[in-house]
Structure 1
Amino acid sequence: MPLMHKPAEMLAMWDVKQVFDPQFLLNPGKVFPVPAQDEAGPYAGYQPLAQLVAAATEISPEGYIPTTAQEAARQLQALSQAGRATTITSAPIAEQNKTGPVQISTAALRGVLTYAPEDLYITVGAGTPLSEIQAFLHEREQHVPLVAPWPDISIGALVATNLNAPLRMRYGSIRDIVLCATVALVDGRVIRTGRPIVKNVAGFDLTKVFIGSHGTLGLLTDISLKVFARPRMQRTLLFPVDELSTGLRWGQEMLQLALTASAIVLTRGGAQAPENNSSYLLAYTAEGVPEDVQAELDQVTDVLQRLNVPAPFSTETLTGTELWTSSIRDAGQDALVVRIGVPVKNLAIYLEGVASLLHETSYVVDFANGFVYAIHSSKNPRAAQEWLDALRQAALTLHGYAIVLAQPAALEGQLERWGYQPSSLEVMQRLKAQWDPRHILNPAAFVLD
């Protein structure tokens, strides 16, 4: 295994081993040497690798814009040694508050680093806007099946927050699309979490540790992604719906037929409301080879016609994923956006149970992934918290969750963002203690703090 992984990566795996098996009970000595009883310290038993830690740079209260992973690692090490809270951003550095968190920006870690069309992957700087990646691939008849409601979002921010669009049902999640990444740790190490075209048959899958970590374990500096051929056909069937129960029933019928489908969503309100004044709009998008797409849409239409569903509108200019993005994006900065996740089998039960809470709000239902994106416009902290608590309690009862995706400045710091503690929290906290012992990275950004 050391032949596949560099020393810094072996050391990172050693850290993970310490978290999950601190007493070395599982296959002792198979990958890592068993430390002697009198050895101590975070790298006990693997001391030769401790020299990988770099020398820190001077602390800068003005913030940092690193241009390389090594530079970022030295800057993070300086911040950690000084105990300065650090906020990771992809935007240009704003004016600093000398007593507040220091900003470190990935704005200079930008652009295409490697493009391998024959191997179907691309490596980009973490600060590269998703739109820039898509534009580059579009010219080459390819794409990365990732979408976000915010057009300027960087690929690093999208991966760190693990925000999956309805496209997940067709192409897999962000965890499936990200092949590997380079990460700067606060002790000065730089690790590569895998290789883009080498199957990780040995070692720990470190890539997935950083996806969804909200920048609390390290700074992503570059990311390798799977690329796909652009679909030759993309078509959407739109069904105006008057009643929630009807839309849920039709959506569940559609889900049984999905093979080339890339989105099955039900929307209420928002900028893309149907012109015929129906309360809801149900969208079924399929994409891929034209023959497959048309066959599937014909089958969907046929099955729903047997249920006396009116003939749908067909379009190639609007997708279910675009309905999702526009609903969240157009809510504006003054809206509270909550993502509710429940098991797919419980989705209809959940929505029928909270229908009165959602009656005067806009929302999007993602049938395939079990998500509801609800948008609340009240700026009253008490009313917003009560609404959130009610949605959250109903979700928890069905083994789900409700988290805050976005909130207006007036509510910042007044709402409980996460609302639950995962069963793996203790393990997550131990790993956080290994890689960020002073808790400087994005404090309060994740459930760990």
Structure 2
Amino acid sequence: MRPVRSTTGPVDPSVLDDLAGSGPRPGTPGDVVGGVVPTVVARPRGEADAARVMAAAARHGLSVVSRGGGTALDWGAPPRSVDLLVETAALTGIEHTADDLVVTVGAGTPVAELTDVLGAAGQRLSADPVRVGGTVGGMVATGVCGPRRLLFGALRDLVIGMTVVRADGVLTRTGGRVVKNVAGYDLAKLHTGGQGTLGMITSVTFRLHPTPPALRVVTAAVSSRAHGERMAAALRARAVAPSAVALDWPSEGGAHLHVVLEGMAEGMTARVDGVRAALGGDTVVSERLPEGWGLVPARGTLGFVACPPAESLAAAERIGELVRAADADVLVRGSVPSGALHAVFPPGTGADVIATAAEGVRSRPGWSLTLMRAEQHVHEAGVDLWGEVPGLPLMRSVKDALDPRHRLAPGRFVGGI
């Protein structure tokens, strides 16, 4: 566990006066963000109150971090300071326009609650959560989703509108509540995955999909990289239209490929047969997703690997080789056809092992590895979380435009943004 630290002194009474009505209180070790104890914690009662809180923070020059379910507060780099932690628990609500396959959701709404509401109407948000207990705002702020991105796109592709409070406290809306809306700049994509460094998300509008009436998962063992590549190539040659082709490759116990098929019950048998023929050998067919589908372990160091889709198996193999050479373990899992993998290092894995794996991946052209969550000893060792980011100058200019005083989640994102 990271040691906690405070970066500020006692609470200024004038700050508490300006935050009155949003339940301000002193921060405690239970509110820690990346090892930093916030000075003040506030819980706005709605969007207008959130704007008022952010405006007060701007007047006092306070650094601000938002918190939803608290499941990703240790993602990214430790913030330089947290003068004000804004809880989104009261920013809830679900406005579901089922006929238009659209939903607008408060940022503090638990993802599980949204799933239940949509499921009761025979619809879903086709993005696999990677954490248990998260909120909609936190899911969007981290921007990470699971293997079904293959068919439905990444989370950012499902966002069609957003309400955000700017650093100066102004409430802004981008996009709309219909799928074909093209009004204004697509600022929602900037905030998706922005770690709260560009603004505070208060609500999000998503496009939805009907819940498929039938689901089948075909699972096969992967004996080697070459074997997995042959299976992936054979799948591409068949018109089976999988929702996901997910790899699970632990250091020990053998790798597996999971092919998810969704759609009408009619024709499902033929699709399953096509997948089994492509995979060859022994396969297992299930009507349920594997346990823990899409989720990443809540502890340890977590890396996100991006590579050309045709090189996904090579990337998984390379990470395993680098880590096993140091007599350590790693679990590599993710979407093979998307070239989007997670590398999960067990708690206590040495910083040198993680640094070697990161450098080994980043040394390959077209490959990258971002350490989205790192343990304290990894941070203390100065391991590079991001690697080379070609678009960093542009990202800095966007930060300067939207948060000129760099008060929002300072230092949590790439390049100290």
TM-score range, shorter chain: 0.7 to 0.9
User: 1: CA distance between counterparts of 2:331 and 2:150?
Assistant: 23
1:412-427 counterparts in 2 under 5 A? Answer: 412=379, 414-423=382-391, 425-427=392-394
- Aligned partner of 1:436: which letter? D
Please say if 1:336 is aligned against 2:301.
yes
Distance 1:110 1:258 in 2: 41
Count of aligned positions: 369
Alignment of 1:131-146 (within 5 A): 131-146=112-127
How many angstroms does 1:365 deviate by?
4.1
2:259 and 2:239 mapped to 1: Cα distance?
9
How far is the alpha carbon of 1:356 from its aligned partner? 1.2
1:234 maps to what in 2? 215
Contact 1:260-1:288 at 8 Å conserved across structures: no
Choose from 294, 315, 320 the match for 1:324: 294
Equivalence for 2:134: 153
Matches of 2:17 and 2:191, distance apart in 1: 25
Matched letter for residue 384 of structure 2: E
Q: Distance in 2 between matches of 1:293 and 1:416?
A: 46
SS of 2:178's equivalent? coil
Q: Which residue of 1 aligns with 2:83?
A: 101
Distance 1:365 1:226, change over 3 A: closer
**CA 386–174 in structure 1, closer or farther in 2 if over 3 Å, else same:** closer
- 1:42-121 pair list within 5 angstroms: 58=18, 61-91=39-69, 100-112=82-94, 114-121=95-102
Distance 1:355 1:117, change over 3 A: same
SS class of match (1:187): coil
Looking at structure 2, the residues matched to 72 and 287 of structure 1 have their Cα atoms a distance apart, in angstroms, of 40
How much has 1:404 moved relative to structure 2? Answer: 1.2
CA distance in 1, matches of 2:349, 2:134: 28
**Other structure's SS at 1:132 match:** helix
Please say if 1:372 is aligned against 2:341: yes
1:437 aligns with 2:401: no
Alignment partner of 2:227 out of 224, 232, 246:
246
User: Do the aligned residues in 2 keep the contact of 1:109 with 1:125 (CA within 8 Å)?
Assistant: yes
Is 2:374 aligned against 1:407? yes
Q: Structure 2: how far apart are the matches of 1:222 and 1:348? A: 37
CA contact (8 A) 1:346 1:398 kept: no
How far apart are the structure 1 equivalents of 2:54 and 2:407? 9
Query: Residues 57, 116 of structure 1: CA spacing in aligned structure 2 closer, same or farther, 3 A cutoff?
Result: farther
Contact 2:218 2:286 in 1 (8 A): yes
SS in 1 for 2:105: strand
Give the secondary-structure state (helix, strand or coil) at the position aligned to 1:416: coil
Counterpart amino acid of 2:88? T
**Mapped partners of 2:214, 2:185: distance in 1:** 38
Deviations 1:310-349 (A, max 9, x none): 1311111234x94432xx23xx42x212111011133244
Aligned partner (choices 251, 261, 264) of residue 245 of structure 2: 264
Q: Percent identity?
A: 25
User: Which letter maps to 1:230?
Assistant: T
TM-score by length of 2: 0.81
Counterpart of 1:214 in structure 2 is 195
Query: Is 1:362 equivalent to 2:344 in the alignment?
Result: no
1:243-271 superposed Cα distances (whole Å, 9 cap, x missing partner): 3331232133224436531211221239x
CA–CA separation in structure 2 for the residues paired with 1:287 and 1:358: 35
- Letter of the 2:405 partner, please give it: R
Residue in 2 aligned with 1:46?
none
Contact 2:141 2:194 in 1 (8 A): yes
1:162-181 to structure 2, matched below 5 A, reads 162-181=143-162
Hey, what does 2:359 align to over in structure 1? 390
Aligned-partner SS, 1:234: strand
CA RMSD of aligned residues (A): 2.6
Match of residue 255 from structure 2: 280
Structure 1 position 162, deviation (Å): 1.1
Correspondence for 2:181 among 200, 203, 206: 200
Separation of aligned partners in 1, 2:182 and 2:351:
51
How far apart are 1:354 and its partner, in Å? 4.1
Residues 391 and 402 of structure 1 are in contact (CA less than 8 Å); yes or no, is this contact kept in structure 2? no
Q: Secondary structure at the match of 1:63?
A: strand
Tell me if the contact between 1:251 and 1:265 (Cα under 8 Å) persists in the aligned partners.
Answer: no
Q: 1:386 to 1:417 in 2, by over 3 A?
A: closer
Matched with 1:350 is 315
Q: Residues 207 and 438 of structure 1: is their aligned pair in 2 closer, same or farther, counting only changes over 3 Å?
A: same
Q: In 2 relative to 1, CA 367–165 (structure 1 residues): closer, same or farther, beyond 3 Å?
A: same
What displacement does 1:175 show?
1.9
Contact 1:89/1:104 (<8 A) preserved: yes
CA drift of 1:101 comes to 3.1
TM-score normalized by the length of structure 1: 0.75
1:8 corresponds in structure 2 to none
SS of the counterpart of 1:137? helix
Residue segments in structure 1 that go unaligned for 5+ positions in a row:
1-55
Q: Which residue number corresponds to residue 9 of structure 1? A: none
Choose the corresponding residue for 2:266, options 286, 291, 298.
291
Answer yes or no: is the 8 Å Cα contact 1:379–1:411 preserved in 2.
Answer: no
